[in-house]
Every structure is written in structure tokens, then in C-alpha cells.
Amino acid sequence: MNWTRAEGEHVVLYDFRESPALAVFDRIIGDLRAEIATRMGVDDAMAKPELFLVLNREDLRRVTGMEAAGVALSQHNALVVADRRNRPNRLLIRHELTHLMAAALLPAVDEPIPWVSEGLATWTTPECAGHSHRAFGVALLEADLLPTRAQLEGDFYALGDVYSYSAAASLVDFAVESWGRDSIPVLWQESLAGLEEWSGVADAYSAWIAYLGETPAKARTLDDLAAVTTCAADT
């Protein structure tokens, strides 16, 4: 494949169909890197990432062999996103960029814990369609759609639905609301057991459920759930 390469201040952009809109993507990556680093509570010392733009999911599968709208290749500090449009999909880029930044800037782990990784990548978007991550958690609780602790920490990707991503984001949100951003590297390395040891809470999963149950009923709307499909896509 013949990629066109263009290097900006914040990103190296590759496109295989036409000249890439370097200035647009460079500004977006620069803005998102600063926002994500602040939200995760880390200094952005990551090397300039490479961003490969493909036209659609079919092209992405051809390039990466994976079935998704976006893929983060942490070992290569690279992103591949199906986003060759005039208006870049910030939500998608933010999600994949969070995967890269978490791998580069949080304490090293052999393999990311899936629910923590996807929860973080969903959570770094401050809200979705006007709804907070807490509101999504409450709506999922009310609809009996929250994964159990065993499902969350087991084969997370086998859950195979967008709700699991929003549930994971709500749990990250709960940890940060309760214990601050220092809880993020703890979850990243050791999941809920690490959080329990570090914070002293006896059962972090049950504490999350109780926290959602105490939230005022006005947050519990079907709109909250409908928006999940647009904001927690399969990325």
C-alpha cells in the first residue's frame, strides 16, 4: 500500500488515498493529548504517535486484520482509524489515543486488563450526548444491564456489547470520584483487588453499585442508554 506521509508537531499522519489534512489532524491530536493527559493525571511524555487514516472498516480490516472502526497498536505507538472524512471523529480518535497514552504513560504491565483499558478509553471522553458516565451507570443498573464482577474481570470482550464499555467507564469514574486520579494507575496494574488493598474499601464492586443506587432518579432515563450506542462504539 502506498501511504502518503506528513509530519506535524503532534502526530505523523499517513493516508493511502490522497493528501492528508495534516493541519486538521495535528491540531486535534495536540488538543486531545493535552486533555487525556490531564484527565488521567499524567504528564504527556509520549513520543509523537503515528496515525494511519483508512476509509472504512473494510480497509481497516485489510490493513490490520481486525474488525473495528479504530485500532491502537501500542507496541508501535500507532493508531489506525477509519476516519477519512472532512470532519474527523474526535470520539473515535480520543478512544484509540487513550489506549496509546495509557500504555505509554501509566505503569508498565504485561497486558492491559481489558475492562480497565476500555473503561479508561471510554471515560476520557468527559460526557456523551450530555450524559455523564455516572448517569450511564445508573441507567444500566436500572435496566439490569451491568456486568457482574466476574463478567467484568473475566472475559470482558466476550460480553460483546456496547453497554460493557459504558459500565467499565462508570466504574473508572466511580474510582476517580471516590479516591482521585491516583486510583487510575492502581486499577491499571491490579484491577479491583488492587483498588481494595490501596484504598481500604472492602468490596469496590459493591461500593460502585451502592454509589449508583444513591444517585437521584432524574438521571435514570432511557435516553442515557440510547446514547451508549453512539459513544461507546466497538473500538
Binding site for Zn ion (CB under 5 A): 118, 121, 235
User: How far is 136 from 55, CA to CA, in rounded Å?
Assistant: 31
**Cβ closer to Zn ion: 92 or 195?**
92
Q: Quote the least distance from Cβ 116 to Zn ion, whole Å.
A: 11
Q: Quote the least distance from Cβ 218 to Zn ion, whole Å.
A: 30
Q: Quote the least distance from Cβ 167 to Zn ion, whole Å.
A: 14
Residue facing Zn ion at closest CB distance:
121
Q: Quote the least distance from Cβ 71 to Zn ion, whole Å.
A: 9
- Integer CA distances (angstroms), 173 to 1, 43, 121, 136, 158, in order: 41, 20, 12, 11, 23
User: How far is 27 from 9, CA to CA, in rounded Å?
Assistant: 9
End-to-end CA distance of the chain: 24
Helix (H, G, I), strand (E, B) or coil at 79: strand
Helix (H, G, I), strand (E, B) or coil at 175: helix
**Cβ closer to Zn ion: 167 or 207?**
167
Secondary structure (DSSP) of 22-53:
HHHHHHHHHHHHHHHHHHHT----PPPPEEEE
Q: Quote the least distance from Cβ 19 to Zn ion, whole Å.
A: 29
